[in-house]
A and B are shown apart, each in its own frame.
Chain A
Amino acid sequence: MPPSWNDYRKVIAKNGFRLERSGKHETWIRYDEQDRVTGQTRASHGNAEIADARFFRALLKQCGKTEKRFYEVLRGK
């Protein structure tokens, strides 16, 4: 079953991303321990499935996660 946008939000929020802007899409910014910006990603509003697997992998690459690690974080490991 493909991940949903809520799954994506949950994982990135656990990995230093904070929601900073909300327009057509949400802009999430990743901070390090010194509160310095280290990256960015976006999430769609709502909770649709991310059905396009290649797009999902592009998102994973953008947020610096492997698919395996994504699901580990999602399960709370």
Chain B
Amino acid sequence: MTAIAVAGGPAQLTSEGDLAFVGDATTSIRYAVSSRRGSSYRVSVAPARLTAVVDETDEGFTARSPELNSLGYGPDPDAALADLTEAVRDYLTFLVEKRPTLAPEVAHHETYLDLLSAPEASWFAAVTIGRAAPDAA
């Protein structure tokens, strides 16, 4: 039997029956396997995660994160996503190191700073294949 316990932050059930975290603190999820010897591990999940939209271009692929307006590019979708991850890391690192004032239209970018302390593989909650960019700007 596997028991799942959530610790580290308040949570509530949504109308769809999903468990949703409340607040903006980093939340830990503990997966505990109930057995005689037992085992458990802890996973840190950043409270705010990004989405990535991958588009095919003339010679490769772009990957963009609408939340931060970050952009990556590469010869294939994986390379574009890796480049996007690097772009996000560079931008968030700049925000952490320089602590600049954010204009109101990008003030929400601050909520993503905790990503830097989470595994990069967990940064994107969803990756979608978007439509190709229009021919005319």
Contact = CB atoms under 8 A, between A and B. Distances in A.
B38 interface: no
Interface residues of B, number: 32
Nearest to A40: B91
Nearest to B63: A58
Interface in A49-77: 51-55, 57-62, 66-68
Interface of A is mostly: mixed
Given A38-B103, A52-B57, A58 B69 contact: no
A25 B90 contact: yes
Contact of B71 (A20, A42, A68): A42
Interface of B: 55-60, 62, 64, 68-71, 73, 86-87, 90-91, 93-95, 98, 100-103, 105-106, 109, 132-134, 137
A-B pairs, 9 with minimum CB distance: A54-B57, A67-B137, A36-B103, A52-B59, A38-B103, A27-B90, A36-B101, A54-B133, A58-B62
Interface of A: 20-21, 23-25, 27, 29, 31-32, 34-42, 51-55, 57-62, 66-68
